[in-house]
Copies of this chain bind each other. A is one copy, B any other.
Amino acid sequence: MEQLFITPSGDLKDRWQQAFPQAKAAVEVASIGEATAAARGIVWLDISQMDDSEKAANVAAAAAFGCPVVVMAATPNEGEAFALMNSGSVGYCHVKAVPAQLREIALVVEHGGLWVPPELMQRFVKLSLRVMPTPAPTQPELNELTARELMVAEQVAHGASNREIAEALDITERTVKAHLSAIFEKMDVRDRVQLALAMNNIPTYTTVN
């Protein structure tokens, strides 16, 4: 498969050539769109010289053409990884990744996989769990809630006030409070803030401490 490296410096061209003898390197960041438009394989985007603000946009631009985009960062970090994967890249590695690793990444990406450093991968999965739309096995306490209580809890999870909940469920504010008291008890939280966080699988102050 074709390999296209987009980089401002070209310093690492040799290394890349070593990983992929037929690799192409485009040394112009100005027209990422143009460069990727012609690509038919994996696009490797060196973001080491980019401004923080333009990274996401550039990745999105490169990914827009359908080819898998692997981001190569100077100082890989979790925050950036998440942001750029979200912008459409399917890989995230160090600019100076060794040839063997580059080939591994290519293999994974070529076959529809997603490649990030192993430690990040774990984090990914763990974090995703927190925002699971169906917190099935995560929150055993949720099963204790009655239908009505669950409705109230979900509203709180989205930041609604008692008045809003009352209107939404067409009941009195008093009743909302009653449900809330029951919920707090069952979910073992002390107020609506902690409930909102718990509903979203986010550990709270007192949970940690």
> Could you tell me which A residues sit within 8 Å of B by CB distance?
52-53, 56, 78-80, 82-83, 85-86, 104-105, 107-108, 111-115, 118, 121, 123-138, 155-161, 164, 189, 191-194, 196-197, 200, 202-208
Q: A108-B107, A200-B202 are in contact. Are A129 and B83 (CB under 8 A)?
A: yes
A-B contact pairs, 21 of them (CB 8 A): A56-B137, A78-B133, A79-B132, A79-B133, A82-B125, A85-B128, A107-B108, A108-B108, A108-B112, A111-B113, A112-B121, A114-B121, A124-B124, A124-B125, A127-B131, A131-B131, A158-B208, A159-B194, A160-B205, A164-B205, A196-B196
- Give chain B nearest CB distance to A161 CB in angstroms: 8
Contact A136 B204 (CB under 8 A): no
Chain B residues with CB under 8 A of A194: 159
* Alpha-carbon gap, A157 to B204, bound state (A): 8
Contact A112 B112 (CB under 8 A): no
Closest B residue to A77 by beta carbon equals: B134
What are the 3 A-B residue pairs with the smallest beta carbon separation, nearest first? A108-B113, A159-B204, A113-B113
- Give chain B nearest CB distance to A56 CB in angstroms: 6
Contact A114 B113 (CB under 8 A): yes
* Alpha-carbon gap, A136 to B130, bound state (A): 19
Closest B residue to A198 by beta carbon equals: B159
Known: A79-B134, A158-B208. 20 other contacts (CB 8 A): A78-B132, A79-B132, A79-B133, A79-B135, A79-B137, A82-B129, A83-B129, A104-B111, A104-B112, A112-B118, A112-B121, A113-B115, A114-B124, A124-B125, A127-B128, A157-B197, A159-B194, A159-B204, A161-B191, A164-B205
* Alpha-carbon gap, A75 to B123, bound state (A): 26
* Alpha-carbon gap, A118 to B68, bound state (A): 12
Contact A156 B193 (CB under 8 A): yes
